[in-house]
Amino acid sequence: MRQIVVGYDGSACGEAALAAALEIAGELGDRVVVIFGYAPPGLWGGEIAEHEEAIEELGEKLMAQAKSHAAERGAEVEVELVPKRPAEALIDAAAERDARMIVVGSFGDPPLKGMILGSTPNKLLYMSERPVLVVPASE
């Protein structure tokens, strides 16, 4: 069984990505793996442990939410918290699983903003060796 890796953070674009991944997986007979990448962006002081614990707690809640959304659609998903920045977490998870594709959501920021600020979809489009589906957030 092939796998589809989807980035999920509970946002509107994350919800759109999860819905698209579940739909595609249903049509292809694939399994969906939901990833939450949570590495802190840069160097932190002594509060990093508390920060990481808070982010892990949030990630666990979001993964439970993703499982619930999938169950509402009659699907099961595998979930994983990955202690890496989101783009890196998704690329590595997809490589480990020989995934068919990576699915992420986007708020539709202008391309220049994505290049300057380094959005996850933009990074994936340039760094991933696998197909990347970028799904716009639902209004």
CATH code assigned at 47: 3.40.50.620
pLDDT over 50 (residue 116): no
Instruction: Determine the average pLDDT of the residues in 118-124.
Output: 83
* Structural domain boundaries, residue 29: 3-136
Instruction: Determine the average pLDDT of the residues in 113-134.
Output: 80
Per residue in 67-113, pLDDT tens?
999 999 999 999 999 999 999 999 999 999 999 999 999 876 555 55
The pair phi, psi for residue 127, each rounded to 5°, is: -105, -25
- How far is the C-alpha of 132 from the C-alpha of 128, rounded, in Å? 7
Could you tell me the CA-to-CA distances from 94 to 78, 108, 127 in Å, in that order? 13, 23, 12
Number of independent structural domains in the chain: 1
pLDDT over 70 (residue 44): no
Strand ranges inside the chain, DSSP E: 3-7, 31-37, 77-82, 101-106, 132-136
How sure is the predictor about 15, in pLDDT bands with cuts at 50, 70 and 90? very high
How sure is the predictor about 24, in pLDDT bands with cuts at 50, 70 and 90? very high
For the whole model, what pTM was predicted? 0.87
- Residue 130 CB burial class (10 angstroms; 0-12, 13-18, ≥19): middle
The per-residue pLDDT of the chain, averaged, comes to 87
